[in-house]
Each structure stands twice: as structure tokens, then as C-alpha cells.
Chain A
Amino acid sequence: RKEVEQDPGPFNVPEGATVAFNCTYSNSASQSFFWYRQDCRKEPKLLMSVYSSGNEDGRFTAQLNRASQYISLLIRDSKLSDSATYLCVVNPSNTGKLIFGQGTTLQVKP
């Protein structure tokens, strides 16, 4: 079983749609969590950190459920520019070593 699991998709949605991605992690002692965005043939870039109380940044909302060991990302009012691969990332031990999921690909269509 992978330490971080994501549905690879692709998720094909129309502009303006709301889309949600989930991610599960296996290490219950994991300390911190992130969502990264990776465009095709580019490096990953931090989208947002995920806090225990949940957090929102504009159209993006991240949630953490420690009991069930999953993280979610909600994107409202999807834009064409949101098309990318979204990587769920877990820090299992606060050492700085991050575990990356395979990523979920989102394609927003006009």
C-alpha cells in the first residue's frame, strides 16, 4: 500500500464547476500536510498548507480528517487555468522529508 494515495483521474469538468479531490495517508503520526500544483513538464509549486481546522484561500478549501486519515481539496468556480496535476503531500515525521502522492489530474474545459 502506498503511503499517500490519490485517484489519478483525470477529472474533466466544465468552467465554473466545483470539484473535490481526496487523498489518504497511511501514517497516523504524520505531522503536516500540503497540496502542491504541478503543471505539465514544470516543477511542483505549493498551493496551500492543510491545517487541522481546515483553511481556505480564495476558491480553494483544504480539509484534514485525522481520524480517517484523509485530506481533501475543494476548488470552486473552476477556471481554465486550474488545469494541472494536484499533488497531495504528507510530512510523516516533521523531518522535512515529504511523501508525494501520484497526483490527481484536473482538466477544466470551456
Chain B
Amino acid sequence: EADIYQTPRYLVIGTGKKITLECSQTMGHDKMYWYQQDPGMELHLIHYSYGVNSTEKGDLSSESTVSRIRTEHFPLTLESARPSHTSQYLCASSEQGNEQFFGPGTRLTVL
């Protein structure tokens, strides 16, 4: 089993609230990723990081932001949640060129 954790697992929140989705891994991987996935749809990369203090936007535009202050921690923040942000958010990590290991995901609902 991969040692990558996400909290909360489920979050229901009102419009306009600021939220932070947590992701941590204990494998020492330099590379970490955030994906967004709607039911029955493909994963879309929204952010990635190749190491501490390195963050890049992914292929799908997102209003969220990320930070990478420590190797093991890659939180995602939404400053003002909207119903259009309702989705599942999956965090993953990998070593150089290798397969990605996924966390269990956070299912976000914005009312």
C-alpha cells in the first residue's frame, strides 16, 4: 500500500469559504501532483511539483493554489469556494519517471 494520505476525505462547505485540502506522503518522493476528477470522467492534472519550492500549473486551469514547503506535504487551497469547484481531488506522488501513487482523494461539495 502506498503511504500517501489526504484529509479531509469528504467536505461539504458553503460558497465563499476558504478551504485547504491536505496531502502528505512518507515515501520521500520529490514529485507530487493534484488531479481533479468528476464522476465518470478522466483525471485532469491541475498542479504539480518537482520538489520543495517548486510548483507548476497543470493542464486544466484551476482557481486553486498549492505550496510545497516540505517534501512530504503538498496542500491545495481554494480562497473562495464555488459550486463549480465541486469535484473529487486526488493527490499523487512519484519518483523520477515512475508510476504515480494516489491518495484516497477528497470529495468536495460546495453548496
Hey, which bits of chain A sit against chain B, CB under 8 A?
31-32, 34, 41-46, 49, 87, 91, 94-98, 100-103
Contact = CB atoms under 8 A, between A and B. Distances in A.
B48 interface: yes
A97 B41 CA distance: 19
B19 interface: no
Nearest to A102: B42
A67 B58 CA distance: 29
Q: Which of A42, A43, A100 has the most chain B CB atoms inside 10 A of its CB?
A: A43
Given A42-B104, A96-B50, A97-B48, A34 B41 contact: no
Contacts of A98: 45, 100
A49 B94 CA distance: 14
Contacts of B98: 96
A45 B102 contact: yes
A43 B90 contact: yes
Given A31-B97, A32-B97, A34-B99, A100 B104 contact: no
Contacts of B103: 43
Contacts of A87: 42-43
B45 A96 contact: no
Interface in B1-53: 31, 33, 41-43, 45, 48, 50
Q: Which of B41, B42, B45, B48 has the most chain A CB atoms inside 10 A of its CB?
A: B42
A49 B97 contact: no
A93 to B, nearest CB: 10
Q: Which of A32, A94, A97 has the most chain B CB atoms inside 10 A of its CB?
A: A97
Nearest to A94: B97
